[in-house]
Amino acid sequence: MRHGCDTVIASRNLDKLKEAAKKLSAVSGRRCLPVCIDVRQPESIAAAVDETLKEFGRIDILINNAAGNFLCPAISLSFNAFKTVLEIDTMGTFNTSKIVFEKWFQNHGGNIVNISATLGYRGQALQVHAGSAKAANDAMTKHLAVEWGPSGVRVNAVAPGPVSGTEGFRRLDDTTVVGLIRDGNDLAYREEVEQLVRWKIQPSHAPLLINNSAVEVVSSTKFLGVNTTDDLTWSVNSVSLVKRAQQHLHFLRRMKRAHLAPAHPHYVLQEHCGPIGEAAGVFQSIPLQRAGNKTEMAHCTLFLASRASSYVTGAILVADGGAWLTSATDFSMLSVVCMRLEEEDDEEDDEEEEDGTLLMLMRELSVSVINSGGLTDETMEISPLIFGPFRFPTGSEEDRRDGRVF
């Protein structure tokens, strides 16, 4: 907006949009119209486009940014969960592009920028839904660039890597419970651990070690009437992690009472690559050694949305600090958090006590990063984008290095 655009911002939450629109107008001096849409519902998009044309008389740029994502192993992903992400990311991008094209771009030209991701380039664990969706979006970018080029419409994409300070980045710290183990003679949840074993040790079939405990896969998926795999194959955010851990603590106590509890039980939880992972150094495998920031993504989008890129169409601008070239795509780049559940009072069952125990346990969390490199030798065709000499205006050395000035 600071570069001269009046803007419409659209999503499902009108209250949030109104607040954002006020701020954007105040800092940019331009008009900002908030409209409520669900990109899965073409009627809501059509109404928003009509409103935009009524308000502003024209549309020059469409940024397809709406997406939904969470970390989840494929085996635990419901059919509806996979479909939901495809519907938001891929169909949402198509629905919006088609409606804006029909109503305006086809007769006036225009410029579309799709916000993609690098997940599908090599195949990222826990991301079959989002990686598939974004790969389809990359293909769509090229198809529409070819088909709509003669109508004066450019279609390009930005593929960010991890971007700090965003919802996506926060969700990288989501936690998946992968098993319950005990030292030496381990109890674990079969399907979860089988997956872990497959991802972790292929093709050497070496024994799996987590914090020096060998994991043995048990054949039963039912334990004391609880379906253990159902109970534990869920990707959760940190708030529901606490709830989940409470349930598991309760479950463990029932096992103890039945004299079936492991002697030294652990919860094994996976932690990922958001702020916690960053602190643990997971981004060291990225050539630029850090996550990206929002300003850097804005610069890339601005380039593709502006006349500075007037002869560029069908391009996917990867803005990931080189991450997809070097970073692991399996569990090896994720940190493993091991929560030790030792010797707490197994008679206590009331909620308050459980909360207290849990808090104590949470304080004992220890993070260890397992780093064994990722896949190599992968190749992928991406439209090359070569910048000429690029001069930053003034700013501190640090700002320049981290791309905070433009």
Ligand X SMILES: CC/C=C\C/C=C\C/C=C\C/C=C\C/C=C\C/C=C\C=C\C(=O)SCCNC(=O)CCNC(=O)[C@H](O)C(C)(C)COP(=O)(O)OP(=O)(O)OC[C@H]1O[C@@H](n2cnc3c(N)ncnc32)[C@H](O)[C@@H]1OP(=O)(O)O
Ligand Y SMILES: NC(=O)C1=CN([C@@H]2O[C@H](COP(=O)(O)OP(=O)(O)OC[C@H]3O[C@@H](n4cnc5c(N)ncnc54)[C@H](OP(=O)(O)O)[C@@H]3O)[C@@H](O)[C@H]2O)C=CC1
State the Cα–Cα distance between residues 76 and 191, nearest whole angstrom.
Answer: 10
Instruction: Give min distance, CB of 297 to ligand X, in A.
Output: 11
Q: Name the segment binding ligand Y (CB under 6 A); options: 10-18, 74-82, 138-146, 383-391.
A: 10-18
* Of the residues 1, 5, 6, 12, which one makes contact with ligand Y according to CB under 6 A: 12
Using the rule CB under 6 A, is 68 a contact of ligand Y? Answer: yes
Chain residues 24-43 in contact with ligand Y, contact rule CB under 6 A: 37-40
Using the rule CB under 6 A, is 67 a contact of ligand X? Answer: yes
Q: Which residues face 177 on adjacent strands? A: 269
Give one DSSP letter per residue of 264-280, joined into a string.
Answer: SEEEEEEE-SSHHHHHT
* Of the residues 25, 28, 106, 166, which one makes contact with ligand Y according to CB under 6 A: 166
Quote the DSSP letter at residue 208: P
Using the rule CB under 6 A, is 65 a contact of ligand Y? Answer: yes
* Of the residues 168, 275, 314, 395, which one makes contact with ligand X according to CB under 6 A: 168
Consecutive H or E run containing 317:
strand 316-319
State the Cα–Cα distance between residues 129 and 291, nearest whole angstrom.
Answer: 22
Residue type, 368: S
* Of the residues 55, 167, 353, 364, which one makes contact with ligand Y according to CB under 6 A: 167
What is the number of H-type helices and E-type strands within the chain?
A: 16, 15
User: Among all residues, whose Cβ is closest to ligand Y?
Assistant: 168
Give the one entry of ligand Y, ligand X, none that residue 37 binds, where binding means its C-beta sits below a cut-off of 5 to 8 angstroms depending on kind. ligand Y
User: Among all residues, whose Cβ is closest to ligand X?
Assistant: 68
Dihedral Cα 271, 276, 282, 288, nearest 10 deg: 140
Using the rule CB under 6 A, is 127 a contact of ligand X? Answer: yes
**Contact at 8 Å (CB) between 270 and 178?**
yes
Dihedral (CA of 113, 117, 121, 127) sign: negative
* Of the residues 21, 24, 48, 66, which one makes contact with ligand Y according to CB under 6 A: 66
Using the rule CB under 6 A, is 168 a contact of ligand Y? Answer: yes
Q: How far is CA 118 from CA 131, 133, 192, 317, in A?
A: 8, 11, 26, 10
Consecutive H or E run containing 240:
helix 238-257
* Of the residues 115, 181, 188, 305, which one makes contact with ligand Y according to CB under 6 A: 115
Using the rule CB under 6 A, is 10 a contact of ligand X? Answer: no
Based on CB atoms, which residue is closest to ligand X, 130 or 280? 130
- How many amino acids of this chain bind ligand Y (CB under 6 A)? 24
Binding footprint of ligand Y on the chain (CB under 6 A): 11-13, 16, 37-40, 65-69, 88, 92, 115, 117, 160, 162-163, 166-169
